[in-house]
Structure 1
């Protein structure tokens, strides 16, 4: 941590700072020593400094504070009279602000006896007028002897150390496991879950009972004592359902929060809601971070992929804690990155989930063709998938599918006993709506959502199947050749899935000036998250050269080789009565993307015919529009 002693000239910052640093055994730095010569000359002459003088000085100190924090902390004496100046210094997560206060007469008497300092006593009135006293931090009177002032500060520090570093609201699967993960990394925690008689009782306390030995974790069923147990500035991570529940929770928390405190929403909130909440809380001088969390139960417990966005100062406050618990990429770096402002973190998580839908649907369709078109037994399908895992197709979802296929109950595959109705939580649909809003081609990932919607209509499908009695023809002949083509079709579809998802992120990033770093996003997705894969590792380097996957040389080479196989597999599936909506959409997306001259000219002519919407010509200047009277008279 860094302790900043601030106040007007003559309040004793240097004297107290030197004593406090000796007491705490950390270095002491006097902010005045970082002033350039020109600033010192102005102050010696009694000329007040302007923002042009102060801001470069403060930025210089801020840069040094980052180094001091990494080296174990420090005590800094710095005037920092104005809130906008203090904001420049808020570059590390743990800062204790200590305002040294004294009456004007006391300070004047001290300045009169001070010899050899460049600050002219005439500037005291100017500094008193400039001083803005914040709601946060500690205020300590300097009427006492310096030794007594130091004693009071150390007592406050001791009290702070008895409080928790961070609080977590919501002890569901994700909240509980993130709490246990943080506790494993020696973080002092307060955990809270609402108390609902007969429904949710002593939920937080039961986490401690189930995990004895968590001495650094305290459980609460009431909000007020939970909030009072946290160090200042308070850092609260909400792991509760998205929607109005978040807004109700924020309303309940506001009376217990002070300017500079931080709220983190780690649920699957709609990024537009996060935009609104960011602006609302900014008006109240509170920091807000909307953070995507991926990895499920196991990831939360042992290393998730984290996508925080929102207030960057808020991110800096929690980054040291989150970096400790995040998964590590293939180079050992934490799978966490600051994504961008407002709802950027939740937006990126939304697209992650959309790609996840596509990846799951692709595996499901490939499995279904193996099982019912090739009539392969479960174990042989699992063995084929296992062989794919040894190639550049290796990915987490394929890995867990192998385990699922091999799971038996009473000697029979458990998978055959599961009802074929796929549920969803909404993020896939949000992605589709966003793609429509921004005009981004998204058919391939839209089909993944629509396939789940159709699967949910089980009664309708049962009736329709009885009416149409569809015939599915197996294709056992040429099994090995078909499996090779199926493997190529699967990998082609995965590349196309990722292109669609990242294309949506590119469009939204450009329209909102978010400056999303796709190489970093791909890196964060190489471990901990559900869509981690060998392909994602390759995208880390690819995005350093080009933001469009389909225009990258490696992707062009691969898809040229896969195109015919994907087309063949889709054709065979449809001819033999097998629905493959994602694979079908993938080849259509791809063919449409690589077609220079499409059928859209006819659509434009039709629009002009019935609605006089005009059209552009290929033999005219760009931007010029034409209208034709199409009907012969």
Structure 2
């Protein structure tokens, strides 16, 4: 893989000497940054004046362009003082993943003596102190002591460059394996770890590496110490293990081998509250922690998922080149990965993503049930859904269309699948978070409880024998009515999901960007759709999509069909909880004067909880003796 190797340090540390030797050893071009200073900078330094940031900016940008141009052909070595982090950011702008930093470090006295012994150096040694004062020690560079001989320095640099990996992945389940292949396919040198359990999990990483040619340069481990030591510092390790206690066990296993400023990335479906706890705990250990939602399933992880990282923004910048490279790309070719916000906000929005996903899946299941009641067989249901792609395109619609086509023998496979839906807990967490935040995410709760109801298969079979179903021979609805009800419910679902994110952002002071969240959900993730693409622009003007004129018009257009479909389902005993809840919630949220006045009166009657009055705008609480 082509790399730009920047050798940095204060003047007199030996950058040019080491850079030339390294370039010769690696057989790549060498460039001395000093040769690219404009004449005005050289004159200023020769007169004993220090350069300011304005003087340096154009010079740094020139070197960045040089690096980019060289990367088109080969690796190269560039020496440059690069004393401040912002200078290094300019030098590596847009090529971070292709950049390696070497810091030649020494004491003031060492380098002062060297400068005084050098002839024709244009910077007087008296300016050395200003360089040391300016120097911001890099946290992501190979540190080399200049007291070593040049030969020893080159040997150390080569060992670090050639024998260490850029990124580590811990846990080779389905998602972990796909992410490894994605990273390798994008040219990253990675280390992979999977535990060793005798007779159960043996040589998992080694066998995985042998199975895929793209992993030929990857390093495979089942020993934690060896795995950690194989990584460049600061180490960047992504954890792809089961959420819950397993994450804590893994962190404790890793900690003895980690160094200050190493970065752990939790890419599982962890609870956002636990992510904050781990973030705070690891901060006391000098280790950075990034909670990262990842959506896309096995295929998405391999070809490009949607990635939702949160935590310390500086730590994110260290891992951004990896995550943004492997992420899916939106319609403008931007990565479907962005820094979300602090603490556990990344895992929070992944949790809400999954809640919205629950509803989208439930709605399609209900739609299929209604189409079946209209007399359509699975092939016909698939054909109907196929015709909806122009107006209601989504990944879940696409796969559901394919599901109803699949046959096994003479029957459709979907007819042979047990009607008990599982869950991994994120829908449960979303419902709990909604209750804790006081947000009416009723569709998510409905979809979750529908899964719970499905699990009572034996009880459903028993109760089915006791209660007669009323199903007429002909439902008084069309497939167009069903489509419009489906579209209506999807708008309400997305309203509720983003409302929950917005309320959490406000109450926890996360400052989340709803438009950016929608954008990174336009590709790679399970809930990607044309509706999500439309929300990217809508959220630039509002946090409430039901105030958008375009969606107001669509909701008004779809509402009559929704009422008709839900009514027919009720009259014919067809289960459609999410569709029904969509219209019920909509009626509630658009009711100017609701029935809650009765509830407040009841609360005051039996518990003296008080109430407020419409004819008293002071906000004063009132109580009545109701007897």
TM range, normalised to the smaller chain? 0.7 to 0.9
- The gaps in structure 1 that reach 5 residues or longer are none
Q: Deviations over 1:250-302 (max 9, x none)?
A: 11112222223222111111111111222222333323222211111111222
User: Which range moves more in the overlay, 354-363 or 572-581?
Assistant: 572-581
Selected match of 2:626 from 611, 625, 631: 631
**Counterpart in 2 of 1:433?**
432
User: Which range moves more in the overlay, 468-477 or 358-367?
Assistant: 468-477
Distance 1:282 1:253 in 2: 15
Q: Deviations over 1:218-241 (max 9, x none)?
A: 322222222222223322121111
**Counterpart in 2 of 1:252?**
253
**Counterpart in 1 of 2:270?**
269
Decide whether aligned partners of structure 1 residues 523 and 64 sit closer, same or farther in structure 2, where only a CA change above 3 A counts. farther
Q: Deviations over 1:443-473 (max 9, x none)?
A: 111100111111111122222222x323131
Distance 2:173 2:363 in 1: 30
CA contact (8 A) 1:192 1:219 kept: yes
Decide whether aligned partners of structure 1 residues 31 and 365 sit closer, same or farther in structure 2, where only a CA change above 3 A counts. farther
CA contact (8 A) 2:12 2:114 kept: no
Distance 1:31 1:274 in 2: 48
Decide whether aligned partners of structure 1 residues 65 and 416 sit closer, same or farther in structure 2, where only a CA change above 3 A counts. farther
How far the C-alpha of 1:20 sits from its partner, in A, is 6.3
Selected match of 1:525 from 512, 521, 524: 521
Distance 2:62 2:507 in 1: 36
User: Is 1:25 aligned to residue 23 of structure 2?
Assistant: no
Distance 1:14 1:181 in 2: 37
Q: Deviations over 1:83-140 (max 9, x none)?
A: 9999999984545242422572673474487788666649759959999898973232
User: Which range moves more in the overlay, 535-544 or 604-613?
Assistant: 604-613
CA contact (8 A) 2:293 2:349 kept: yes
Distance 2:63 2:454 in 1: 56
CA RMSD of aligned residues (A): 3.7
**Counterpart in 2 of 1:458?**
457
How far the C-alpha of 1:29 sits from its partner, in A, is 3.6
Superposition TM-score, scaled by structure 2 size = 0.86
**Counterpart in 2 of 1:283?**
284
Distance 2:276 2:59 in 1: 32
Decide whether aligned partners of structure 1 residues 20 and 335 sit closer, same or farther in structure 2, where only a CA change above 3 A counts. same
Map 1:303-314; keep pairs closer than 5 Å: 303-314=304-315
**Counterpart in 2 of 1:326?**
327
User: Is 1:564 aligned to residue 560 of structure 2?
Assistant: yes
**Counterpart in 2 of 1:535?**
531
CA contact (8 A) 1:61 1:89 kept: no
How far the C-alpha of 1:66 sits from its partner, in A, is 7.1
**Counterpart in 2 of 1:197?**
198
**Counterpart in 2 of 1:169?**
170
**Counterpart in 2 of 1:420?**
419
Distance 1:616 1:56 in 2: 62
Distance 2:425 2:272 in 1: 12
**Counterpart in 1 of 2:485?**
489
**Counterpart in 2 of 1:138?**
143
Decide whether aligned partners of structure 1 residues 269 and 57 sit closer, same or farther in structure 2, where only a CA change above 3 A counts. farther
**Counterpart in 1 of 2:385?**
385
Map 1:354-365; keep pairs closer than 5 Å: 354-365=355-366
**Counterpart in 2 of 1:619?**
615
User: Is 1:182 aligned to residue 183 of structure 2?
Assistant: yes
Q: Deviations over 1:578-605 (max 9, x none)?
A: 2211111111111111112111222223
**Counterpart in 2 of 1:367?**
368
CA contact (8 A) 2:48 2:127 kept: no
CA contact (8 A) 1:3 1:98 kept: no
**Counterpart in 1 of 2:474?**
476
Distance 2:570 2:167 in 1: 55
Superposition TM-score, scaled by structure 1 size = 0.86
- The gaps in structure 2 that reach 5 residues or longer are none
Selected match of 1:107 from 112, 128, 136: 112
CA contact (8 A) 2:83 2:134 kept: no
